[in-house]
């Protein structure tokens, strides 16, 4: 051990004093850590994380891509092309 053990006035090593100080330091460190953990839990409880998690983002992205693919398929169909073309022609003739 490299720790220096203090010597009492009568020349006897203060082993119990040293042990008591070490235990007090450990207790203080433990209290500090518990306080930090408690603060973190209270923060998480008061302000839960907002927004979707990564898996939820993936599901939303897949749904949006699927919806876009369906819309593109509908717009590319012959009936919709004819309808949109006639609407544009009427708008240009009206102006």
Which residue from 7, 31, 9, 26 is spatially nearest to 17, judged by alpha carbons?
A: 7
What are the structure tokens assigned to 70, written together? 């369906």
33 lies in the same domain as 72: no
Q: Please check the confidence at residue 86 and state whether its pLDDT lies above 80.
A: yes
Distance from C-alpha of 45 to C-alpha of 38, rounded to nearest angstrom? 11
19 lies in the same domain as 59: no
46 lies in the same domain as 60: no
Residues β-bridged to residue 13: 7
Measured CA to CA in angstroms, residue 89 lies from 53, 76, 83, 84, 93 at distances of 47, 18, 10, 9, 6
Domain limits for position 32? 1-50
34 lies in the same domain as 70: no
80 lies in the same domain as 93: yes
Count the domains in the chain: 2
- Tens digit of pLDDT for each residue in 15-29? 677 777 888 888 998
- Tens digit of pLDDT for each residue in 26-73? 899 889 998 888 888 888 777 666 665 777 888 889 999 999 999 888
């Amino acid at each position: 051990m490299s720790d220096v053990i203090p010597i009492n006035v009568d020349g006897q090593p203060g082993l119990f004093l040293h042990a008591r100080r070490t235990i007090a330091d450990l207790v203080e460190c433990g209290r500090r850590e518990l306080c930090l953990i408690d603060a973190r839990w209270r923060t998480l409880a008061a302000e839960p994380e907002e927004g979707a998690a990564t898996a939820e983002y993936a599901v939303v992205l897949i749904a949006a891509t699927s919806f876009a693919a369906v819309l593109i398929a509908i717009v590319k169909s012959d009936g919709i092309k004819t309808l949109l073309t006639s609407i544009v022609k009427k708008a240009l003739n009206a102006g």
